[in-house]
Amino acid sequence: MSFSFKFLPVKDLIFSVIPTIGTYLGYLQGVTPDLLANKYVAIGVGLVASIILAFVFYKENVKSYKRSLAEILATGYVMNFTERMGRLLQSKLPYKILVGDLEGQPISPDNIYVEIAIPKSMQALKDYANTVDEETTTVFLEDPSSGQPIWLRGKLEKDDLYIYDFPRTLFALRNYLKADFSNPKKEAKRSKKIFAYFSDKVDELREERISDFLSNRINFKTI
């Protein structure tokens, strides 16, 4: 990520500059510790301490920003899709296919299987997205409880519907972290750390909402 002052807020600058100011004032007032009796040593130590602290604050703020961004995307993905899939599989009512050759045909939740891929890197995400695009078709189901359509990617095999999904929202990271995804080498290295934050948050939310993922027909896999 390229340097940005938004990751070095005023409060952090204050905390990092205070040691330097204290050293200056201490010297001027004659209360500088014996170790820093020489004013040039005192000034040098103060400046070095300030630079180190500012760098530490900056790195921690960047890390927190990336983690927060990944966790926000993970929360949205779980709440808007995976929880819905979990409830879909627990439904007692049949779903109806809305479009295609099988339009109007009911399908039992017992015949629906869901695979959710959690990628380790941007390249893994791209590869899986291409595979899903090539090997599946768009499927629209009608939610029997609300009548709302559910858009999915999947394929029908006899009486079974196999759904394949992945967190498309992770592609948005390239818009927020342009420097991290500016070239293949950076993307390969840095996306792994960010995607790990995403994966950890998904696991955490799955534990918190375990009742929505009891079905053995919903499979989370790491790719």
Q: What is the secondary structure of 121-180 as a DSSP string?
A: SHHHHHHHHHHHHHH-EEEEEE-TTT--EEEEEEEEETTEEEEEE--GGGGGHHHH-GGG
Do 45 and 121 fall into the same domain? no
Using the predicted structure, report yes or no on whether residue 135 has a pLDDT greater than 90. Answer: yes
The DSSP 8-state label assigned to residue 215 in this structure reads -
Total of domains in the chain: 2
Do 34 and 115 fall into the same domain? no
Do 51 and 88 fall into the same domain? no
Q: Which domain holds residue 10?
A: 5-61
Do 105 and 158 fall into the same domain? yes
Average per-residue pLDDT in the chain? 80
Structure tokens at 110: 């017992």
Specify the pLDDT at position 162. 93
Specify the pLDDT at position 117. 97
Do 48 and 123 fall into the same domain? no
Q: Mean pLDDT over residues 7-26, rounded?
A: 54
Using the predicted structure, report yes or no on whether residue 4 has a pLDDT greater than 70. Answer: no
Collect contacts of 98-102 with beta carbons under 8 A, ≥24 apart.
98/140, 98/141, 98/142, 98/149, 99/138, 99/140, 100/137, 100/139, 100/140, 102/156
In a domain, 70, yes or no: no
Q: Mean pLDDT over residues 159-178, rounded?
A: 89
Q: Which residues contact 47 (CB under 8 A, 6 or more apart)?
A: 20
In a domain, 200, yes or no: yes
Q: Which residues contact 75 (CB under 8 A, 6 or more apart)?
A: 201, 205
What is the pLDDT confidence band of residue 173, given thresholds at 50, 70 and 90? confident
Q: Is the dihedral of CA 54, 7, 198, 209 positive or negative?
A: positive
Please give the span between the terminal C-alpha atoms of the chain, in angstroms, as a whole number.
25
In a domain, 132, yes or no: yes
Specify the pLDDT at position 196. 95
What is the pLDDT confidence band of residue 36, given thresholds at 50, 70 and 90? low
Specify the pLDDT at position 33. 55
Specify the pLDDT at position 101. 62
